[in-house]
């Protein structure tokens, strides 16, 4: 199907939705227009008649044109601090994946846990959990999927004639579940956390602020408990009969050696990652019992007061 045909076929359902809602709803013209724009964007994203990023920018043009929101209100949504949290996480994920830092981290953990199937499962889940705390859980799964599949293929090649379905299922489910559990631990772990944070601020502006540290303190115990419960269930359900499917203890060490010495780019990405994490934790005030630590956000408030005076 040609591009212009896709565009026309995307516009038609949007127009239909507008006229249908205009005749049968009491929500008003703005609601009908909003629904039509939403249907148009969904259709364009599905058909990919235009680049995905172009479709994402359509509200900046269509909202003011159709009187849904003015241009100032619309453009402010694109510059929301939560959007920059999204962008920061995606840039970190891109840098880590480009220079294979995630593979180095995962191999170091797997070297420590051992080569038995249950140990490998635990290593994969811990690795995924840690990375997913700081990067979108979806991006984490995509980054580690190839490494997990390589482990599964290695087990199958080393044990021809034996069924490895159990360990394969456990590893893939462990990858998915631990990414979701790890994403619970921090504000940036998954986009839904950041969306909730924004809705909380808008709905309860006078309530106590949820800081990165307070979220972490609340969520990390729950996440760790869920991680080990999930590990125990997967081990019991899928690996109990496949404990003999271990392979050479040196496999992970050899794979790590093949990566060579840690590069300048990996060190640089690692330093940026640590600095970013520390700044996220220390932005707001930290209070633990009688101990308190002023966040660096206070410095900007003092500076703004001095400038206004």
| DSSP structure class, residue 254 | H
Q: Which residues contact 36 (CB under 8 A, 6 or more apart)?
A: 14, 15, 17, 18, 21
Half-sphere exposure of 191 (CA within 13 A, CB side): 8
Residue 75 has a CB neighbour count (10 Å cut-off) of 14
Higher pLDDT, 130 or 81: 130
- What are the pLDDT digits (tens) for 259-276? 888 888 888 988 998 888
Answer yes or no: is pLDDT of 292 > 80.
no
Q: pLDDT value at position 9?
A: 74
What distance in Å separates the CA atoms of residue 223 and residue 254, rounded to the nearest whole number? 32
- The encoded tokens of residue 272 equal 């940026």
Q: Are 219 and 162 in contact (CB under 8 A)?
A: no
Pairing assessment for the beta strands 291-293 and 286-288 based on DSSP bridges: antiparallel
- Give the model's pLDDT for residue 308: 47
Backbone angles phi, psi at 296, to 5 degrees: -70, -15
Per DSSP, what are the bridge partners of residue 293?
286
Cα→Cα distances 149→7, 172, 231, 239, Å: 38, 8, 18, 17
Write down the pLDDT at residue 24.
65
pLDDT class of 157 with cuts at 50, 70, 90: confident
Q: Mean pLDDT over all residues of the chain?
A: 81
* Alpha carbons within 13 A on the beta-carbon side of 78: 12
- Comparing 9 with 138, the larger pLDDT belongs to 138
Tokens of 233: 């269930």
Q: What is the pLDDT of residues 3-37, one digit of tens each?
A: 667 777 777 777 777 777 776 655 567 788 888 88
The angle at the Cα of 271, spanning 275 to 102, to the nearest 5 degrees, equals: 110
Q: Which of 105, 299, 279, 77 is closest to 188 using CA atoms?
A: 279
Asked if residue 303 has pLDDT above 70, the reply is: no
Give percent above pLDDT 90 in the chain.
Answer: 13
**The pLDDT value given to residue 229:** 96
pLDDT at 249: 65
- The predicted structure's pLDDT at residue 129: 94
- Report d(CA 140, CA 132) in Å as an integer: 6
Q: pLDDT-derived band of residue 163, with 50, 70 and 90 as boundaries?
A: low
pLDDT tens digits along 198-245? 888 888 888 777 888 888 999 999 999 999 999 999 988 888 665 555
Cβ pair 167, 155 in contact under 8 A? yes
**Residues 134-150, buried b or exposed e (16+ Cβ, 10 A)?**
bbbbebbbebbeebbee
């Amino acid at each position: 199907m040609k591009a212009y045909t896709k565009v026309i076929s995307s516009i038609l359902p949007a127009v239909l939705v507008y006229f249908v809602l205009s005749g049968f709803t009491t929500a008003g013209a703005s609601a009908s227009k909003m629904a039509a724009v939403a249907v148009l964007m969904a259709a364009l994203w599905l058909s990919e008649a235009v680049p995905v990023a172009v479709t994402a920018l359509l509200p900046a043009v269509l909202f003011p044109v159709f009187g849904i929101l003015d241009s100032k209100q619309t453009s402010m949504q694109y510059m929301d601090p939560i959007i920059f949290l999204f962008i920061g996480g995606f840039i970190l994920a891109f840098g880590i994946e480009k220079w294979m830092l995630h593979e180095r981290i995962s191999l170091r953990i797997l070297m420590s846990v051992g080569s038995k199937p249950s140990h490998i499962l635990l290593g994969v889940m811990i690795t995924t959990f840690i990375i997913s705390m700081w990067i979108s859980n979806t991006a984490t799964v995509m980054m580690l999927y190839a490494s997990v599949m390589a482990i599964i293929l290695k087990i199958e090649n080393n044990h021809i004639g034996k069924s490895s379905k159990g360990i394969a299922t456990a590893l893939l489910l462990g990858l998915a579940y631990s990414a979701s559990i790890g994403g619970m631990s921090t504000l940036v772990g998954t986009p839904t956390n950041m969306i909730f944070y924004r809705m909380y601020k808008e709905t309860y502006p006078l309530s106590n602020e949820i800081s990165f540290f307070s979220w972490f303190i609340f969520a990390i115990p729950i996440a760790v408990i869920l991680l080990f419960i999930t590990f125990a269930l997967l081990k019991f359900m899928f690996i109990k009969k496949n404990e003999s499917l271990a392979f050479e203890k040196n496999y992970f060490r050899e794979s790590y050696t093949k990566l060579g010495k840690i590069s300048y780019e990996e060190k640089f990405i690692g330093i940026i990652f640590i600095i970013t994490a520390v700044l996220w934790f220390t932005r707001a005030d930290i209070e633990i019992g009688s101990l308190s630590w002023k966040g660096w956000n206070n410095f900007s408030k003092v500076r703004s007061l001095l400038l206004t005076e």
